[in-house]
Amino acid sequence: MSRLARTQERDLRSWLFATRRPRSDGTDSTTLAAAVEQIAYDVETAHGVPVDVVNVGDCPLDDDLSAMLAAGREAMVNAAKWSGAPSVSVFTEVERKRISVFVRDRGSGFDPDGAPADRQGIATSIRGRMERIGGSVTIRSTAGEGARSSSPWPARTDRT
């Protein structure tokens, strides 16, 4: 019931703020904000954990931003699957020369450097993707206080 209510809330916000509701196949996710909303919807649906999104600014998607969003998706999935938090928060910001994605949970926390070698989510799916596009990622976590991931990317073009 709560999933249905959150889906309807997302649809209403999309309608009120005149943004397109991205389809589940991703074909309508042509902007950063629409793609982030779609990812949040997918993660929420798959894992049953509410994902709250705040987008400040928007821009068209390109290959680099798609890679950045893939890293953000991995951070959201990890938070939803492993943190034990009641919700996940996502904040995106588009500035003239930088685009950032922040993911936060208030769950159990973990040691970012202590992940077993066979677990490649952080190393490959998050850090590796960001490094390949010239960005970076900072992951901070404290036991019992959750985790925060910050992924700033120096945009190659002026976004305003």
CATH number at residue 138: 3.30.565.10
User: Please, what sign has the CA dihedral across residues 37, 60, 58, 130?
Assistant: positive
Residue 81, both tokens:
């699957």
pTM of the model: 0.78
More confident call, 56 vs 120: 56
Q: Are strands 88-94 and 51-56 parallel, antiparallel or unpaired?
A: parallel
How many structural domains compose the chain? 1
Does 126 score more than 60 pLDDT?
yes
What is the tens place of the pLDDT at every residue in 1-34?
776 776 677 666 555 544 444 444 444 568 999 9
Residue 43 within a domain: yes
Does the pLDDT value for residue 51 go beyond 90? Answer: yes
**Does residue 27 fall inside a structural domain?**
yes
- What pLDDT, on the 0 to 100 scale, is given for residue 135? 87
State which of 97-101, 108-112, 132-136, 143-147 shows the largest mean pLDDT: 97-101
Is 123 a domain residue? yes
Q: For residue 95, give its domain range.
A: 22-154
Q: Please check whether residue 109 lies inside any domain of the structure.
A: yes
Residue 17 lies in a domain: no
Instruction: For residue 37, tell me if it sits in a domain.
Output: yes
> For the segment 52-91, what is each residue's pLDDT rounded down to a tens digit?
999 999 999 998 999 999 999 999 999 999 999 999 999 9
For residue 14, tell me if it sits in a domain: no
User: Do the domain assignments include residue 4?
Assistant: no
User: Whole-angstrom Cα distance, residue 33 to residue 106?
Assistant: 23
